[in-house]
């Protein structure tokens, strides 16, 4: 209930329904004027302080999804009026909403707040409506992985929350439990070998048009777009390169192998060469009619994560705007 009240207070749902994306926990902390600093903490993921005034610390030494969960956990301590807390890896190992012998109830409450704040049921429903996903589709681990990226949470936290909300059954959850995310990334990348598999792989389609996506600067993108090449229409990817993306693979997949002139899927794999924010704008047009696209894909992106030492990026941007 505390998480739901905060969403109503800061207008989270209206923003997501309008722009897409995830719950920006760092912006929420800024809106509440709760001091937040990021530091390379030793042995800790985060901390909540109350003396001489409330404040939050989050580590710089973990991935963006863990930074987000830690920040939401510390925000939970603040909103629930908890005592000061030093939080280590146990916040990732505990099962939210489950009080077991030996658990500190304050920590269970903060875990539950973090999940309820980052993954409210309505947020999952928003993404399902946008992408046309149904409950049965979540038996496919790639779809669960793509949902996790759009939620800004880990693969495990996502499928466990789907089970808690009874969107998937226990059998489907058991099938997802043994999935290696590395294998999902390799499947999406096909024959392209990335420098490493720590980076996430986003599958973008026409359904991402008009939304915003948030991730880390080393993430990879696979754009899978229907292309009407039989009519001379081709997706122009030059804008990707002008925006700082490096195209590392460009291929086509047949939709109807026996059809003549049938549309194909254009599959473009790209990565950002440095952390940045911006917009992707691609048009499917005939080369001799560039100003008359048949289809267009436009979306915003912020791939400046993970958070670095000091203030959060959203707070730094506010300071620059005020200067």
Question: All domains of the chain, ordered by start, with CATH?
Answer: 2-118 (1.10.10), 121-179 (no CATH), 197-305 (2.60.40.2020)
* 251/246 Cα distance (integer angstroms): 15
**CA 7 to chain centroid:** 18
What local confidence, expressed as pLDDT, does residue 57 receive?
Answer: 98
Q: What is the pTM of this model?
A: 0.93
Peptide bond into 306 cis (omega under 30): yes
* 33/117 Cα distance (integer angstroms): 18
Task: Yes or no: say if 45 and 58 are a contact pair by the CB < 8 Å rule.
Answer: yes
Q: Which two tokens stand for residue 298?
A: 């436009």
Give the pLDDT mean for 226-237.
92
What local confidence, expressed as pLDDT, does residue 254 receive?
Answer: 83
Give the pLDDT mean for 205-229.
94
Residue 260: is its pLDDT beyond 60? no
Give the pLDDT mean for 217-221.
93
For 160, the 3-state DSSP assignment is helix
**Between residues 100 and 166, which one has the greater pLDDT?**
166
* 207/20 Cα distance (integer angstroms): 11
What local confidence, expressed as pLDDT, does residue 19 receive?
Answer: 86
Read off the pLDDT of residues 96-149 as tens digits, 9 standing for 90 and up. Answer: 766 667 778 899 999 999 999 999 999 999 999 999 999 999 999 999 999 999
Residue 221 pLDDT class (50, 70, 90 cuts): very high
Backbone φ/ψ region at 29: left (φ over 0), alpha (ψ -120 to 50), beta: alpha
For 305, the 3-state DSSP assignment is strand
Region of poorest pLDDT, from 111-115, 167-171, 286-290: 286-290
Give the pLDDT mean for 258-268.
79
Residue 188: is its pLDDT beyond 90? yes
The pLDDT > 70 percentage for the chain reads 97
């Amino acid at each position: 209930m505390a998480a739901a009240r905060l969403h109503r207070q800061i207008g989270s749902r209206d923003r997501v329904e309008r722009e897409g994306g995830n719950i920006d926990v760092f912006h929420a902390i800024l809106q509440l004027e709760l001091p937040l600093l990021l530091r390379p903490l030793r042995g800790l993921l985060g901390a909540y302080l109350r003396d001489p005034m409330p404040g939050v610390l989050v580590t710089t030494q973990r991935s963006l999804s863990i930074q987000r969960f830690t920040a939401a956990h510390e925000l939970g301590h603040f909103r629930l009026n908890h005592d000061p807390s030093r939080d280590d890896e146990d916040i990732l190992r505990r099962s939210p909403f489950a009080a077991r012998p030996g658990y500190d109830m304050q920590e269970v409450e903060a875990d539950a707040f973090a999940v309820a704040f980052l993954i409210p049921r309505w947020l999952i429903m928003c993404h399902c409506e946008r992408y046309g996903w149904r409950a049965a589709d979540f038996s496919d681990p790639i779809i669960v992985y793509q949902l996790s990226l759009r939620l800004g949470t880990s693969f495990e936290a996502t499928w466990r929350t789907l089970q808690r909300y009874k969107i998937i059954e226990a059998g489907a959850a058991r099938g997802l439990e043994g999935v290696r995310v590395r294998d999902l990334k390799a499947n999406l990348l096909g024959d392209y070998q990335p420098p490493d598999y720590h980076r996430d792989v986003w599958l973008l389609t026409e359904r991402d048009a008009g939304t915003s996506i948030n991730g880390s600067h080393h993430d990879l993108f696979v754009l899978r777009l229907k292309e009407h090449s039989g009519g001379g229409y081709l997706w122009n990817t030059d804008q990707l390169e002008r925006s700082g993306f490096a195209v590392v693979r460009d291929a086509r997949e047949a939709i109807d192998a026996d059809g003549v002139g049938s549309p194909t899927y254009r599959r473009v794999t790209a990565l950002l060469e440095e952390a940045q924010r911006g917009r992707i704008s691609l048009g499917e047009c005939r080369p001799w009619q560039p100003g008359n696209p048949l289809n267009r894909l436009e979306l915003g992106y912020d791939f400046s994560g993970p958070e670095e030492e000091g203030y959060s990026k959203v707070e730094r941007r506010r300071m620059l705007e005020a200067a």
